[in-house]
A = this chain, B = another copy of it.
Amino acid sequence: MEVANKHVTLKTHIEGAPKESDFELKTSPLALSLNPGSGEMIVKNLYVSIDPHQLNRMKSCSLLQKTGTGFNGIALGEEIEAYGVAKFVASDNVDFEKGDVVMGVVTWAEYSKIRRNGMIRKLDPLGFPLSYHLGILGYSGLTAYAGFFEICKPKRGEKVFVSTAAGSVGNLVGQYAKLHGCYVVGCAGSNERSLYLWSYITTFPNVQLLKEKLGFDEAFNYKEETDLNSTLKRYFPDGIDIYFDNVGAEMQEAAVANMNTFGRVAVSGVISEYVDPGKRAAPNMLQVIFKRIKIHGFLAADHVGLFQDFISTTSHHLRNGELCPLEDISDSLDSIPVAFTGLFRGDNIGKKIVKIAEE
């Protein structure tokens, strides 16, 4: 059997913020059977993850070289890798059966062909919606959990600042920090938005959402602030102990300037630098010394040893209603370019996911 497989590709390499016109939807024939011994696998995608860091592989080779991070660029016309939850369709891998729900690295496509040794595993949904396994119980969740607990080593009562606090990782860091007994302030770009929350549609400005629904002590809209240094001084009269950084640039500088001795900066993302490589944080190093500040870049991938601990803690809190899963789900493959570019406009609230097909 053969299907016409619709997928998203790059029409042009991206410089600066991504535009919808940088992407193209294509359809290619795909046989849903495989040669024995190929080691390949075919899955039908149900949900795919939309993440800001994907932009880093969409740049041209020369731009990629400038970042010096060793990313493999995505060729024009090639399928674009992403985390996803999918249904197993075909393979000669005896570990899987047709209809099994799997998760791992798929592509922005209706069907994905997974190479031999592709990163894919059978998924036990643990009684939760499948989409949770891309967000609060997936890589975003592990990033928040490992970054906050392992990198920041928080103590009860410490003062925590989270940027892009309405984003997929930031909202969870704030929620974990509140459960840990910290004082938490988040910043977000705030537009009044409708979102699907606890099974009903509701309208919130992000900032209000952070405080009223996620329990942050304070939240502010960075777009309304002219001097981030003074803003942080206002929200942290006793200084910041932990800054969970998702943006880099001026926000990191202002956080370091307002930091207490032995403060920690967990650098999880630098969305400002993804869009504009010339935009860099230049924290005051004299303060870094005298306040003995640690600035620490990390990837969740290094903390997979925490995965079981993360899943059991997080699912326990979810079942007790102590953590709120914040998802922003669009429908259909066609919506991916809008969904992705929206990440850089601050359109999403929580984890951005595109639903490709019905379970």
Contacts and interface: CB of A to CB of B under 8 A. Distances in A.
Interface residues of A, number: 37
A292 interface: yes
A251 to B, nearest CB: 11
Nearest to A269: B289
A290 interface: yes
B257 A290 contact: no
A280 B249 CA distance: 13
A307 interface: no
A165 interface: no
Contacts of A288: 267, 295, 297
A14 to B, nearest CB: 15
Contact of A267 (B267, B273, B280, B285): B285
A285 B257 contact: no
A297 B290 contact: yes
B297 A296 contact: no
Nearest to A253: B280
Interface in A107-154: none
A252 interface: yes
A293 interface: yes
Interface in A277-314: 277, 280-299, 302
B302 A285 contact: no
Contact of A270 (B273, B286, B302): B286
A297 B302 contact: no
Contacts of A294: 294-297
30 contacts: A56-B286, A67-B284, A67-B287, A68-B257, A68-B284, A68-B287, A69-B286, A69-B290, A70-B290, A252-B285, A267-B285, A267-B288, A268-B289, A269-B289, A270-B285, A270-B286, A270-B289, A280-B283, A281-B285, A282-B282, A288-B295, A289-B297, A289-B299, A292-B296, A292-B297, A292-B299, A292-B302, A293-B296, A294-B294, A295-B296
